C-alpha cells in the first residue's frame, strides 16, 4: 500500500545542498543531516547516537560520515554503525527528491 502524498514535506532544495557533503537542516525543533552520497541523497538525525555531536561537522567521504567528537563512523546511506565507539545506527528519515526538492515523509 502506498503512502498518501500529504505525508511528504519539503525539506531543502537540492540546489542549496553542499555538493558531495553533509548539509545541516533544521526541521522544526529537529536537527537533520542531508547527505549528498555517491548513491543519492539521504537524510538522518544530525546528532550522533553515541554522544550527541553534530555529524555535519564530521568528515564525509561520499558514503560514510565520521563523528567529529569520538570518530565513530556511520554509513550515510543506511545509517549502519561501522566503527567504534558507535554501536547504534543513525536514525534515517525516509526521503525522496521531487522537482528539485528534498522531501521527507512525516
SS3 28: coil
Domain that holds residue 69: 5-105
Over residues 48-106, the pLDDT tens digits come to 999 999 999 999 999 999 999 999 999 999 999 999 999 999 999 999 999 999 999 98
Under 8 Å between Cβ of 91 and 101? no
Q: What is the pLDDT of residues 76-90, one digit of tens each?
A: 999 999 999 999 999
Q: What is the pTM of this model?
A: 0.93
DSSP summary character for residue 15:
G
Question: How far is the C-alpha of 76 from the C-alpha of 57, rounded, in Å?
Answer: 14
CATH code, domain with 21: 2.102.10.10
Query: How far is 68 from 8, CA to CA, in rounded Å?
Result: 31
Q: Tally the domains of the chain.
A: 1
Q: What is the pLDDT of residues 15-55, one digit of tens each?
A: 999 999 999 999 999 999 999 999 999 999 999 999 999 99
Amino acid at each position: 500500500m502506498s503512502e498518501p502524498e500529504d505525508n511528504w514535506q519539503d525539506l531543502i532544495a537540492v540546489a542549496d545542498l553542499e555538493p558531495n557533503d553533509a548539509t545541516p537542516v533544521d526541521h522544526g525543533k529537529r536537527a537533520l543531516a542531508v547527505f549528498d552520497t555517491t548513491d543519492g541523497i539521504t537524510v538522518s538525525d544530525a546528532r550522533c547516537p553515541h554522544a550527541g555531536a553534530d555529524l555535519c561537522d564530521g568528515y564525509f567521504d561520499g558514503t560514510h560520515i565520521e563523528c567529529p567528537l569520538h570518530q565513530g563512523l556511520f554509513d550515510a546511506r543506511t545509517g549502519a554503525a561501522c566503527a567504534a565507539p558507535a554501536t547504534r545506527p543513525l536514525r534515517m528519515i525516509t526521503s525522496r527528491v521531487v522537482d528539485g526538492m528534498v522531501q521527507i515523509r512525516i
